[in-house]
Structure 1
Amino acid sequence: MGKLINLRHLDISDTSLKEMPMGMKGLKRLQTLTAFVVGEDRGAKIKELRDMSHLGGRLCISKLQNVVDAMDVFEANLKGKERLDELVMQWDGEATARDLQKETTVLEKLQPHNNLKELTIEHYCGEKFPNWLGEHSFTNMVSMQLHDCKNCSSLPSLGQLGSLKELSIMRIDGVQKVGQEFYGNIGSSSFKPFEALEILRFEKILEWEEWVCREIEFPCLKELYIKICPKLKKDLPKHLPKLTKLEISKCGQLVCRLPMAPFINELVLEECDDVVSRSGVHLASLTSLNVSNICKIPVELQYLHSLEWLVLSDCPDLNELPPVLHKLTSLKRLEIKGCPRLSSVSEVELPSMLEFLRVQQCDSLESLPEGLMANNTRLQDLSIMHCGSLRSLPSCISSLESLFILGCGKLELPLPQDMVHNFYPSLTRLSIIGIDCESLTSFPIGLFTKLMYLDIMSCTNLESLSIPEELRHVDLTSLKHISIRHCPNLESFPQGGLPTPNLERLSILNCEKLKSLPPQMRTLLTSLEDLSIIICPEIDSFPEGGLPTSLSQLKISSCCKLEQGRVRWNLQTLPFLRKIIIGVDEEERLESFPEKWLLPPTLTTLTIWGRENLKSLDNKGLQHLTSLETLKLRFCYKLKHFPKQGLPSSLSCLKICECPLLKKRCQRDTGEEWPKISHISRIVFEEFDEGSFRPLDVIL
């Protein structure tokens, strides 16, 4: 490395280097060095940075615990590197095995040039910070992070950094009090600490008990975060004139009032019951309020006329919604999560401007009554998740565009005859997941004339999709995507087929009793591009007339009867079919695949997976695939041979995963199958990661 004397830029970020190579000191013309790892034994010492006076940009010095002689740090001459903008200092290793006094001395001698703009100190185990850290001479310092400096008992005088805009202090366990030493004192009555600071974070300071606040401070502060400081009792700054966001989280002993902040628009309060508002009037500019794990809502909602987003989560004692909710005239989004005692919302009206409502994990809630919508005509998005006692929804929400229902086992949807009149006439997205109600045996798809996306999953009593007699003449022209999954009792689609001329994707997964696909697919589904049929063992054929000619992608797996009749698939009649995925068929003992003329010549991508008995690929079924570009073979454990004639010359990509016999025979130059695939420009042997693997990832 030392011979590269003209090297200007060396970027080793995101590498796993344990130490720097020898000879680094010879790279005197370096202008960029992203990282320097201090060697433990024979590796490069930190003093090898001495003559790199042209270094600029960002430099991370790691494993500083390996410094043996503190004078090496002085020789590194960080103070002379005027072009550095950002410096990161990192220690590593167990704190119990470290020399605390040496680390204190090392950090003292790591003083950088005053031009530095950003500084980070991590995992430092010394007992105090150096005096230079808060010197007002760092006139360009805009960002500082002090993280995991566990043994320091006080903070440096950072208030003296007149240009500092962002400050993050985390995991400094020795600090019990933040007071005058934090602000500093230049000695002038005109001195204003933190006069440029915009973002301040305190997090995981576990022993911190008191914040001594001055009358006038942080004149430019916009964001304040105090998180996981369980012993903090007091206080907060009384007046933050520029504050726009405040987050207080898991500070259970904090007893104080919220600052006066006339421009605050976002407030997050979590596990801090004794933090209260002076008055809702002072929060009139608030647009977002998130209250979590608090017994009582600490602000007077009726004054929050600008509030647009309200989140109430994990509030164990909340048994009813605030009756003044309808007075939030600007509220657009309301989320209620993890409130197990919330049982009724009968006395509440939704705000008139509300567009999004999510109710989640409210186990006692039994209904969303009709009166809920009395004041609202704008609700567009409704999500109900894991509300085990919920039985009913409002029967008509004329503005609703998206409805998501998940894991509400007792929910009774209206019967089809009740849906005919004004049941969500604007709905474009509908997801019903995990509904066992007896009323949902037949889903009246024909009622939702504006529906674009339909997802039905794990509805155990669903037997059919239907179109009411009086609507059989109506085409569902908006519908683009239908997904039906894990509905074990589904048996049929509408008798006349699906009148969905613009449907682009149809996915059917794990519907064990389904015996046939929708009738007249070729004539009715004229825009269908993607068809997936997976784990549907009773389907034995495609519908009469075949598949739509618009089809470009076909996925079939674990459909034993359908695959046994594949000679009648007539895929040659599909001029736009480009991609086919053929998956598991546990009952078939097929040893060679594919058969002659099974696959169309238009094919560009073929995936074969899960064929445990497959031993070879058949040239008769591949030789006419003159457009084939990508072949993927996965989980074919007995597969050993490609055709003697080789693979199609058009093939440019071959991917093999979990085909151990074939992989061995395809080794470059030495494998028996190598001559058959050597012309392929990209050959990939994919690794199987059991931890992240989901079987259906291959085909969905």
Structure 2
Amino acid sequence: MFGNEEVTIHLPENFDYLPHELKLLCWPNYPMRCLPSKFRPEKLVKFKMVNNKLEKLWEGIALPCLKKINLWGSVNLIEMPNLSKATNLETLKLVDCYSLVKLPSSIPHPNKLKYLYLSNCRNVETIPTGISLKSLEVLNLNGCSRLRNFPQISTNISYLSIDGTSIEELPSNLSLRFENLNTFQMHSLKKLSQRVQLVQLLTLLTLSPSLRYLHLSYIPTLVELPFSFQNLHKLAILEIRNCENLETLPTRIYLQSLRFLDLSGCSKLRTFPDISTNIEDLNLSKTAIEEVPPWIEKFTNLHKLEMKGCVNLETLPTGINLPSLECLNLSGCSRFRDFLISQPTLHTSI
């Protein structure tokens, strides 16, 4: 694609050549099932071939210079080649490689692998023990629905997503302190059946002084959050959605950095959250909250309050002043009565 012009390349059926001196190979929508058989990519530094028709790559070739592999959307790719000698590899992106069954069997330590993206590799069942993740900073396993083993990850990890995996248990020796963890996402982890393991993981996360974004959703074993959540001094975004058995939040804690709180769909939650007064965006839709306390006036930075479908909510305190509130959504609150908020610019949906 050059500017707004689409360029179509017609390859002969006997196409079987790429120069061995290549350092950068970027070819989106590559139409062939394999690379040229005589191609020796020993000098390759960056390999980017997204949305291609490849079924296999090279075999038995050392890749000492290779730093980045991006095979996003390689829907026909079944297996990765041996990367045991790619010790300078920093980034491996295999997002939406639906047919991929096996990862490379070995990426030994020491290596420089920092970024591993396996989103929606739905046929990958294990991460081989030969893949060293000791240097890893970002690991995205979102949508790896057959993955059952929790990876032995680096203590340097800053981003970890295990959304939609089939992880059933945590390692018994899981004692990592995620000191650099910035983002953690866990969604639809229904097979993590033992509540004690979930509490173990949540408690472990609270040892992460750098954590800024935490997303937990569709986790039926989540009943409460540990009091140790008070240690998350840098947490800015907390999303706990559709955790149908969550009943309470910790009390007498204060998350000074929290700006965005989403508890929507936590249908057993009855208590209005009192964990930060610095919240700007608060979503309590489809919870069991019955009343909004008068001390909501302390939420002086609150711009948006959503309580859609809170069928137990009957009223708001009258005469309260929320100077920053711009949007209030109470649609579907069937028991709701009249209220008054001193805010002339407020947009209200009832």
Of 517, 521, 529 in structure 1, the residue corresponding to residue 249 of structure 2 is 517
In the TM superposition, residue 201 of structure 1 has moved relative to its aligned partner by: 10
Question: Residues 574 and 600 of structure 1 are in contact (CA less than 8 Å); yes or no, is this contact kept in structure 2?
Answer: no
Of 327, 332, 336 in structure 2, the residue corresponding to residue 611 of structure 1 is 332
C-alpha distance in 2, partners of 1:459/1:470?
17
Question: Residues 447 and 467 of structure 1 are in contact (CA less than 8 Å); yes or no, is this contact kept in structure 2?
Answer: no
Residues 636-687 of structure 1, C-alpha deviations (whole Å, 9 max, x = no match): 4xxxxxxxxxxxxxxxxxxxxxxxxxxxxxxxxxxxxxxxxxxxxxxxxxxx
Partner of 2:298: 573
Partner of 2:290: 564
What secondary structure does 2:40 align onto? helix
Residues 437-484 of structure 1, C-alpha deviations (whole Å, 9 max, x = no match): 322599x79732211111222222344644579979x84221111111
Residues 571-620 of structure 1, C-alpha deviations (whole Å, 9 max, x = no match): 133444343223222455x4xx53325x54334323224236478743xx
Distance 1:311 1:326, change over 3 A: farther
Of 86, 90, 106 in structure 2, the residue corresponding to residue 355 of structure 1 is 90
What secondary structure does 1:632 align onto? strand
> % of aligned pairs identical?
17
Partner of 2:309: 584
Over 6 Å off, 4+ runs: 199-203, 468-472
Correspondences of 1:273-672 after superposition (within 5 Å)? 273-277=13-17, 280-281=19-20, 284=22, 286-290=24-28, 292-298=30-36, 300-303=38-41, 305-311=43-49, 313-315=51-53, 317-318=55-56, 321-327=57-63, 329-335=65-71, 337-338=73-74, 340=76, 342-343=78-79, 345=81, 347-349=82-84, 351-359=86-94, 360-363=96-99, 365-369=101-105, 371=106, 373-374=107-108, 377-393=111-127, 396-414=132-150, 423-439=153-169, 447-462=177-192, 463=195, 465-467=198-200, 475-522=207-254, 525-542=255-272, 546-560=274-288, 563-567=289-293, 570-586=295-311, 590=314, 593-596=315-318, 599-611=320-332, 613=334, 617-618=338-339, 621-622=340-341, 625-626=342-343, 628-633=344-349, 636=350
What secondary structure does 1:521 align onto? coil
Residues 194-226 of structure 1, C-alpha deviations (whole Å, 9 max, x = no match): xxxxx79997xxxxxxxxxxxxxxxxxxxxx3x
What secondary structure does 1:403 align onto? strand
Distance 1:339 1:468, change over 3 A: closer
Length-normalised TM-score, structure 2: 0.81
Larger gyration radius, structure 1 or structure 2: 1
Correspondences of 1:185-264 after superposition (within 5 Å)? 225=7, 227=8, 248=9, 251=10, 254-255=11-12
In the TM superposition, residue 506 of structure 1 has moved relative to its aligned partner by: 0.8
Question: Residues 308 and 329 of structure 2 are in contact (CA less than 8 Å); yes or no, is this contact kept in structure 1?
Answer: yes
Larger RCO, structures 1/2 (Cα 8 Å, 6+ apart): 2
Distance 1:303 1:489, change over 3 A: closer
C-alpha distance in 2, partners of 1:573/1:497?
21
C-alpha distance in 1, partners of 2:229/2:55?
51
Residues 322-366 of structure 1, C-alpha deviations (whole Å, 9 max, x = no match): 234542514323326435462465x44262332221223343514
What secondary structure does 1:333 align onto? strand
Residues 413-456 of structure 1, C-alpha deviations (whole Å, 9 max, x = no match): 338xxx5xxx31111111222112322599x7973221111122
Distance 1:350 1:433, change over 3 A: farther
Question: Residues 44 and 63 of structure 2 are in contact (CA less than 8 Å); yes or no, is this contact kept in structure 1?
Answer: no
Partner of 1:150: none
Between the two proteins, the alignment pairs up a number of residues equal to 343
Gaps of 5+ in 1: 1-167, 169-198, 204-224, 228-247, 256-272, 637-700
C-alpha distance in 2, partners of 1:556/1:200?
45
C-alpha distance in 1, partners of 2:40/2:49?
16
C-alpha distance in 2, partners of 1:582/1:540?
12
More strand by share: 1
C-alpha distance in 2, partners of 1:341/1:314?
9
The letter for the 2-side match of 1:311 is M
Distance 1:200 1:292, change over 3 A: same
Distance 1:440 1:539, change over 3 A: farther
What secondary structure does 2:284 align onto? strand
In the TM superposition, residue 405 of structure 1 has moved relative to its aligned partner by: 1.1
Distance 1:615 1:348, change over 3 A: closer
Distance 1:557 1:432, change over 3 A: same
Length-normalised TM-score, structure 1: 0.43
Distance 1:303 1:548, change over 3 A: closer
The letter for the 2-side match of 1:606 is C
Please, what is the CA RMSD of the aligned residues? 3.7
Distance 1:314 1:440, change over 3 A: farther
C-alpha distance in 1, partners of 2:3/2:222?
56
What secondary structure does 1:564 align onto? coil
C-alpha distance in 2, partners of 1:531/1:350?
45
Distance 1:451 1:340, change over 3 A: same
C-alpha distance in 1, partners of 2:72/2:302?
46
C-alpha distance in 1, partners of 2:71/2:85?
12
C-alpha distance in 2, partners of 1:503/1:201?
42
C-alpha distance in 2, partners of 1:465/1:449?
19
Correspondences of 1:74-223 after superposition (within 5 Å)? none
The letter for the 2-side match of 1:409 is S
Question: Residues 150 and 171 of structure 2 are in contact (CA less than 8 Å); yes or no, is this contact kept in structure 1?
Answer: no
C-alpha distance in 2, partners of 1:333/1:585?
47
C-alpha distance in 1, partners of 2:309/2:271?
17
C-alpha distance in 2, partners of 1:324/1:600?
70
